[in-house]
Amino acid sequence: MAKAEPASTLFGWQGITLQVPADWNLGRVDGDHKSGYARLDDDQIVRAEVEWREGKKRQLSIEQLVDRYVEGLEKKAAKTGVAFAVTRKARFLRDKRWLEGSEYELFIWEADFRTYNLARACPLCGRIVLLRVLTRMQEQAEELVDRIFASLEDHAHEGQVSWSVYGLHFQLPEAFKLSGQELKSGHLQLDFSRDRQTCRVHRLSLAHLLLQNISLADWYQGFFRKQLRDFKVEVAEEELHGHPGLRVRGQPRSRWLQLIRPLPFLNPKPRQYQDSQVWVCTAADKICIIDHLYRKREEGEDLPLRLSDGYFCHQEPQTEPGGHAQLPADPQ
Ligand SMILES: [Zn+2]
Ligand SMILES: [Zn+2]
């Protein structure tokens, strides 16, 4: 009988996507779309790391980049006295057709763990990606490694970037860049901006407790009181993909009302519109919120609705950031 494949999940960050075992979760993330780093951990060890960098103007070949990287590792190993072995131009992927036409190198290094590495420059977007997967020395990992590497994507598709962490999964137009993140257990928030528009994606856990004695509309208006102060808000009940939900539309308050507001004096908030979709996913016990803030009425374009179309709130295993995750509050 064939062994059942363990459930897998999509990891997506800054245009990098990978299909990984469902219990590998984001443990650390840094940088922005130009260059950055993400680490996935299982409940015991680091399992995968990915680094990316814009490569259009690069001076060094992939081979030279790997030279440098390996030298650094050798120095570190020598300092700590760990036995270290490296195999350059390693043969570990069975199917390498997807790598054809790109400059790349596969290599393996072993210390306490065995790590499988791919350094590659994407022939389409030029991005340089270093992906490494860590396995225990005794682990039979070839199939897993094959699957993960073959799933690697490093750029947007049809102008859409897939974001996927802790089972929160959606697609956003490429022009929106991540401008802030709060990945707390119980409340995930990703902020994006494009020109003078903002898109915020929230996911709150334990919806049944948050909504115990209160309607969704009242909870929402209480929770976001500060943000909503700047708008004339209309809240309408509106189902979303079979989930109870709200559509919230905010208009800028009159300039006169803004003037008599006490603060801030020097940097008054811009007059803007708000369009939000809020819904409760009972199956996943989450409240999901997508906000779009924009300056000109015509910039609205139903973004929350379009975004929620590719948003899967209850199909994948839902996890929470672990207590050990070192997640900077801001990508800078
Ligand atoms: Zn690419
Ligand atoms: Zn759902």
pLDDT digits (tens, 9 = 90+) for 197-209: 999 999 999 999 9
Residue 112 has what pLDDT? 87
Alpha-carbon Rg for the chain in angstroms: 23
35 three-class SS:
strand
| Nearest ligand by distance to the CA of 314 | 2
**What is the distance in A from the centroid of ligand 2 to the CA of 161?**
21
pLDDT 10s digits, 172-182: 999 999 999 99
Residue 311 has what pLDDT? 79
Residue 332 has what pLDDT? 37
**What is the distance in A from the centroid of ligand 1 to the CA of 137?**
32
**What is the distance in A from the centroid of ligand 2 to the CA of 244?**
10
Spatial separation of the C-alpha atoms in residues 222 and 235, rounded to whole Å = 13
Spatial separation of the C-alpha atoms in residues 274 and 231, rounded to whole Å = 8
Average pLDDT value for residue range 233-256: 90
Q: Which two tokens stand for residue 322?
A: 């672990």
| Nearest ligand by distance to the CA of 308 | 2
Asked if 286 and 313 count as a contact pair (C-beta separation under 8 A), the reply is yes
Spatial separation of the C-alpha atoms in residues 156 and 247, rounded to whole Å = 28
**What is the distance in A from the centroid of ligand 1 to the CA of 17?**
11
Surface-to-core class of residue 24, CB atoms within 10 Å of its CB (0-12 exposed, 13-18 middle, 19+ buried) = buried
| Nearest ligand by distance to the CA of 14 | 1
User: Is residue 144 within a helix (H) or strand (E), and if so which, with residue range?
Assistant: helix 142-150
DSSP string, 222-274: HHTHHHHTTEEEEEEE--BTTB-EEEEEEEEPPHHHHHHS-S-SSSPPPP-EE
Average pLDDT value for residue range 34-48: 95
Average pLDDT value for residue range 21-49: 95
| Nearest ligand by distance to the CA of 52 | 1
pLDDT 10s digits, 54-97: 987 888 999 999 999 999 999 999 999 888 999 999 999 999 99
Average pLDDT value for residue range 212-239: 94
Asked if 207 and 215 count as a contact pair (C-beta separation under 8 A), the reply is no
Report residue 145's pLDDT band, with 50, 70 and 90 as the boundaries.
Answer: very high
pLDDT 10s digits, 271-305: 899 999 999 999 999 999 999 999 998 888 888 88
215 three-class SS:
coil
Q: Which domains does the chain have, with CATH numbers?
A: 8-150 (3.40.1000), 175-309 (3.40.1000)
Asked if 53 and 70 count as a contact pair (C-beta separation under 8 A), the reply is no
**What is the distance in A from the centroid of ligand 1 to the CA of 16?**
9
Report residue 128's pLDDT band, with 50, 70 and 90 as the boundaries.
Answer: very high
Average pLDDT value for residue range 134-159: 93
| Nearest ligand by distance to the CA of 287 | 2
**What is the distance in A from the centroid of ligand 2 to the CA of 202?**
14
In 3D space, the residue among 182, 147, 199, 188 whose CA is nearest the CA of residue 166 turns out to be 188
Residue 330 has what pLDDT? 44
**What is the distance in A from the centroid of ligand 1 to the CA of 75?**
31
In 3D space, the residue among 198, 203, 204 whose CA is nearest the CA of residue 227 turns out to be 198
